[in-house]
Structures are given as C-alpha cells and as structure tokens.
Structure 1
Amino acid sequence: MVFYMLYFTAELENLTDLQPRGGCDDPSFTYNFKVKCENCGEVSQKATWVTLSESVPLPTGRGTANLVQKCKLCGRDGTIQMVPGHGQPLTLGQSQSGATAGLMVFDCRGFEPVEFSFDDGWKAESTSGTWYDIDLSEGEFVEYDEKGECPVGVTNLQSLFKVVKKQERGGGKTVYA
C-alpha cells in the first residue's frame, strides 16, 4: 500500500480558507482524477471520481474501498481508500507564500492517482462572509464582493499527488508526512 496526499495551491484574492464546501472531510465532495496502473503504467483516459460517502466491496470479499477498478489495458484490479482527517484549507497566507495545503490522503493499491481535476463545490471566506458553491472547473473563480466592496478570486490552481508515510505520534495520533 502506498499513501498519497493530494496537495493544492492557488492565488487567492481577498479570500482565505479555500476548501470543499463541507470542509476537507466533506463526505459528499467528489474528487476527480485519472489513475495510473502500477502494473503496466497505463493512465486512464477519463477521470474517475471518488467520494467518502460511497464504498464498494473489495474483489477479495474482505472489506471495502472507495474505488475498485480494473486497468483497461492489463486487467489488474486497483483500489483506493480515502483516509479522512488530514486535510486543511488553503489560507491566504499560504497562497501568498506559494505554499500548498494537503487536502486528502488516499491509500492506493495497484493504482497511482494523477491529474486531479478541480470542479465545483468549493467554499472560501472573504471579509464580508462565506462564498459557497465556488466552481473551479474552468480553472478560476473571479467575482465582485458587493458587500465587502472588493474583487474576489481564485486563480492559478495547481495540484500535486505526493507519496507520504504514515507515522504514529504520541497519544495514538496518526499523521502523514
């Protein structure tokens, strides 16, 4: 098993705490990305989706995963299990410094997640309140905050899946770094 953290960054204008609408562990938020077969290296042509609220039985019959899929080229099974509790919103400070925020951990077997696609269902805070249902599918979000009397925006979206290691900390806390 290999653990991948999905990191993301963006340029935020008069916004902070960019994250999925219900928080980083939102069970209804859909993660869309392509998968690469660890056996043959084939990358899926279409993005697949994974969400915390749905799970399917493993081919072995023992347990479940959020995604079970066969490679179209070699036929090998791959699974992805989401590991909630490790994501953070992207703050304005992180955005200004070019830092990334970890969004979700994926326990992958047989597949490697690649090419995350930003979609709708995001939220962020402005000086005048919360912006819900931000759609990032076009690669940006630009509006005018009439209440705060300033432009708001999310541009230059970038994402990266990075291998992380599971570490046990004092008090039984698990972290991925």
Structure 2
Amino acid sequence: MVNFMLYISADLENLTNFQPAGGVDDPNFTYYFKLKCENCGEVTEKETCVSLNETLPLPKKGTTNLIQKCKFCKREGTVTMIPGRGSPLTNELSEGGKHAALMVFDCRGFEPLDFAFSSGWKAESIEGTKFEDIDLSGGDYAEYDEKGECPVMISNVAAMFKVVDLSKKNL
C-alpha cells in the first residue's frame, strides 16, 4: 500500500480558504485524475473520478472508493480515500508559494497522476464574502467582491501527488 497526498497551490488575490465546496472532507466532492498501472506502466486515457460517498466492498474485508482494471495488462487495483488530513489553501500559504494538503489516497496497483481541477470549489474574500461553486475547469476564476470593494481571483492552479507516511504527524 502506498499513500499519496494531493497537494494544491494557486495564486489567491484577496481570497483565502480555497477548498472543495463542502470542506476538505466533502463526501460529495469528486476528484478527477489519471491513473498509472504499477504493473505495466499504462496511463489511463481519461480522468478517473473518485469521491468519498461512493464506496465498494472489497473481496475480503472493508471498502474502497474505486476498483478498476488496467485496460492493458488486466490487473486490478484500488484507490481508497483517507479523510481527515487536509486543510484549505489560505492566503498566507498562497503568498508564501506553498501548497495545501487536500486528501490522502491509499493506492494499490495504481499511482495517481495529473489531477484535473473542475467545479465545486469555494473560497472567501479577505473581507469575509463567500464565493461558492467556483469552476476551475478553465484554469482561472475572477469575480468582484462588492462588500470588500475589490477584485478577487484564483490563478495558476496547480496540483501534485506525493508519497506520504501516515505515521508521521506533519505531512
């Protein structure tokens, strides 16, 4: 079993607490990314979608969020989400050029690649105005905060997966 943490970064202008609409552990938020087979190295053509509210029983014990066969070598692999380790991307992290840890994926037989930003995000302005259902499938988001009388923007969104050891306190 290998655990991969999804880290996100973005340039936040007059915004903070950038995260999935229901929070970092939103059961309805869908993560889209490609998978690489650890057996043959084949990468899926399309993004695979995984969410906390979709579970499948495992043959022996427990549940997982995705069971998929490699189209090339036919080996089966699983992806299980591990909530409770993420945090929103704050304005301070963004200004410091740092990433926010979002979600852990326990991957067996696959490695996650190329996270795709889509809809279903939220953020709040520095003045406290909430912006809901932000769609980042086009890459950027721009709006105007009338309460704070300032433009708000999310740009240069980026994501990466890193192998993490869950026994360590600081990821």
TM-score (norm 2): 0.96
The corresponding residue for 1:63 is 62
Structure 1 unaligned runs (5+)?
A: 169-174
1:80-119 CA distance string (max 9 Å, x none): 0000000000000110110000000000000000000001
- Kindly indicate whether residue 91 of structure 2 is the aligned counterpart of residue 89 of structure 1: no
Q: CA deviation at 1:63?
A: 2.4
1:47-93 CA distance string (max 9 Å, x none): 010000011122x3432210000000000001000000000000001
Contact 2:129 2:145 in 1 (8 A): no
How many Å separate the matches in 2 of 1:86 and 1:63?
A: 20
The corresponding residue for 1:21 is 21
Figure out how many residues of one structure are paired with residues of the other and give that number. 170
- Structure 1 segment 116-155 matched on structure 2, within 5 A: 116-126=115-125, 127-155=127-155
**Identity rate, percent:** 59
1:136 partner letter:
L
How many Å separate the matches in 1 of 2:128 and 2:90?
A: 16
CA gap of 1:99–1:151, structure 2 versus 1, over 3 A, is same
Q: CA deviation at 1:143?
A: 1.0
How many Å separate the matches in 1 of 2:170 and 2:115?
A: 19
Contact 1:139 1:156 in 2 (8 A): yes
1:47 partner letter:
E
Runs of 4+ deviating beyond 4 Å: none
Corresponding residue SS for 2:167: strand
How many Å separate the matches in 2 of 1:84 and 1:176?
A: 15
Contact 1:20 1:29 in 2 (8 A): yes
Contact 1:67 1:79 in 2 (8 A): yes
Structure 2 unaligned runs (5+)?
A: none
TM-score (norm 1): 0.93
1:35 partner letter:
L
